[in-house]
Each structure stands twice: as structure tokens, then as C-alpha cells.
């Protein structure tokens, strides 16, 4: 697979109004890419564009709207006059939930954004990439997708779904020369984690997280899990027998 460069086409980043997506889009622009950015808050996307003149194309979008997503992809490629060759499906949300406060509304919201929203974007871009036999897709899951973590009943569910989705897609995308990576960040300083009241081990700066994501995408690495200090223990924990997994996770999270 040929890793796409800025001369092959443009990049598209969802969830680019804040946090990881905003920083990934900014670093792509600094690296010479023209980047289409999407999220619901148009004012935040405009301020990002103003900081990178001529490099950022603003396409406000709610990724849960299937029809709007399909239209946005057409509009982006028409406005740029070039194909989307690198897409980072990053938009997502986290709403804490546990067994005692399990709430179907919170469940549906997270499924809608994290799973169905990402699927809407995939459905809109896959046909072109498969036909052109070119392109690269990065799906932002989470280390919480490796195993069910306490306080993340629905979030872990959605992020595990994205990991399985990327693994399944890879068999077909490899044949079509389209790259696919699944990105599993640990704790990154963003508005999403600012509301967490529990200790966040190995909490990272968003600029460092974005640097790792883009460095590993440039290598077409499939599983981009970081930081190592949190990723490796979690990868190990998930293969332990169930009683050990629950005992160790409960103890380390003081659950």
C-alpha cells in the first residue's frame, strides 16, 4: 500500500473543533496538507481555519446525520477539486455510566455518535477509495476498547466495536491497497477528559498524542495504541483469565 501524501489529495478530520481532532488537523496543515475539518461547532472550525490560512476547509457536520455526511463528502471533494486520500474518523463522545446509573439515553447517544456516526463516514468514503484503490483511514477508538473498564459501560462497548470494525475491514482494504489503522489513545488532556474526577495515569498533552497518531499513520501501522505505559498493561490484562482481570482492574482503579 502506498501511504498517501499531501500531493495525492486532501485529508478529512472529523471532530476537529476541539481536542485530538483539532490538533491532528493543525499538525496535518503544518505538514503541508489541505485538510477538510468537520464537527458541529462551526465557529471553532472557523477559528482553526483562521490559524492556518489556505490550508483548512470548513465543513460543519453532525456525523449522526447519514444524508448530511454523504453530501459533505461530495461537497468536500468538489470544493477541493481533489479526492480525500486520508481520513481520520475521530469524532466521539464519552458519557460516564455504571450499573446503578445505566441509562438507555446515554447508551443511545454514544452508540449514535461513536459507532453509527463513524459508520456513516465510512459508508460515504469507502466506495471512492475502493474504486481508486488508494487512500488511508484512521479510526479513533480508545484503550477502553481493549476491555470493559469500570465507569465506561457504553463507551467501552462503542470503542471495542470500532476496534472489531477496523480489524474486519482490514482484510478487504488490504486487497484494495487502502490503508486502515485503529487508534487507541490512553488519557489525553482535552475537554473530554477535563470532566473526569478520577486519577488519569500517564495523562498526555494533546500535541504529543497528535504527533504519535500522525507518525504511526505515516508508517501505516494498524494498531496505534499509546502511551506504552498504559497500553501494554491493558493489552496484557485482556488475555488474563477473567477472575484475574477483574481483580487486577478493580484494584488498580480502586473501584
For ligand NAP, the binding residues (CB under 6 A) are 14-21, 39-41, 44, 61-64, 90-94, 113, 117, 140, 142, 185, 187-188, 190-193
Tell me if 43 sits within 8 A of 21, measured CB to CB: no
Smaller CB separation from ligand NAP, 111 or 192: 192
Helix axes 118-132, 66-80, angle to 10 degrees: 40
CB of 96 to ligand NAP, least distance (A): 13
Q: Which three cell numbers stand for residue 13?
A: 478530520
For the question of residue 155 being annotated catalytic, the response is yes
Cβ closest to ligand NAP, residue 64 vs residue 75: 64
Cis peptide preceding 227, ω within 30 of 0: yes
27 or 93: whose CB is closer to ligand NAP?
93
Beta carbon of residue 211, minimum distance to ligand NAP (angstroms, whole number): 14
Among the options 33, 59, 155, 187, which is catalytic? Answer: 155
- The C-alpha atoms of residue 114 and residue 91 are separated, in whole angstroms, by 7
**Residue of 223, 226, 198 lying closest to 211 (CA atoms):** 226
Distances (CA, A) of 128 to 74, 117, 181: 10, 19, 18
* Cβ nearer to ligand NAP, comparing 18 with 27: 18
Distance of closest approach, residue 7 Cβ to ligand NAP, in angstroms:
27
Shortest approach of ligand NAP to residue 65 CB, angstroms? 8
Alpha helices in the chain (DSSP H): 19-30, 42-51, 66-80, 104-110, 118-132, 153-175, 191-194, 206-217, 228-237, 242-253
- Please list the active-site residues: 155
Amino acid at each position: 500500500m502506498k501511504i498517501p501524501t499531501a500531493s495525492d489529495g486532501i485529508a478529512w478530520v472529523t471532530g476537529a473543533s476541539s481536542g485530538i481532532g483539532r490538533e491532528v488537523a493543525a499538525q496535518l496543515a503544518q505538514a503541508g496538507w489541505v485538510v477538510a475539518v468537520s464537527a458541529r461547532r462551526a465557529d471553532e472550525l472557523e477559528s482553526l481555519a483562521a490559524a492556518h490560512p489556505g490550508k483548512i476547509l470548513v465543513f460543519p457536520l453532525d456525523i449522526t446525520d447519514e444524508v448530511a455526511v454523504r453530501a459533505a463528502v461530495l461537497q468536500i471533494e468538489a470544493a477541493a477539486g481533489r479526492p480525500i486520500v486520508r481520513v481520520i474518523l475521530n469524532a466521539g463522545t464519552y458519557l460516564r455510566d455504571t450499573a446503578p446509573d445505566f441509562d438507555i439515553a446515554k447508551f443511545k447517544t454514544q452508540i449514535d455518535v461513536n459507532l453509527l456516526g463513524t459508520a456513516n463516514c465510512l459508508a460515504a468514503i469507502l466506495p471512492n477509495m475502493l474504486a481508486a484503490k488508494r487512500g488511508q483511514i484512521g479510526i479513533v477508538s480508545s484503550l477502553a476498547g481493549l476491555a470493559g473498564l469500570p465507569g465506561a459501560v457504553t463507551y467501552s462497548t462503542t470503542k471495542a466495536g470500532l476496534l472489531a470494525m477496523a480489524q474486519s475491514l482490514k482484510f478487504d482494504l488490504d486487497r484494495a491497497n487502502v490503508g486502515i489503522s485503529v487508534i487507541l489513545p490512553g488519557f489525553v488532556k482535552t475537554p473530554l477528559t477535563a470532566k473526569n474526577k478520577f486519577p488519569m495515569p500517564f495523562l498526555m498533552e494533546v500535541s504529543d498524542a497528535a504527533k504519535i497518531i500522525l507518525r504511526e499513520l505515516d508508517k501505516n501501522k494498524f494498531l496505534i495504541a499509546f502511551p506504552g505505559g498504559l497500553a501494554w498493561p491493558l493489552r496484557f490484562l485482556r488475555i488474563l483469565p477473567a477472575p484475574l482481570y477483574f481483580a487486577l482492574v478493580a484494584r488498580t482503579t480502586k473501584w
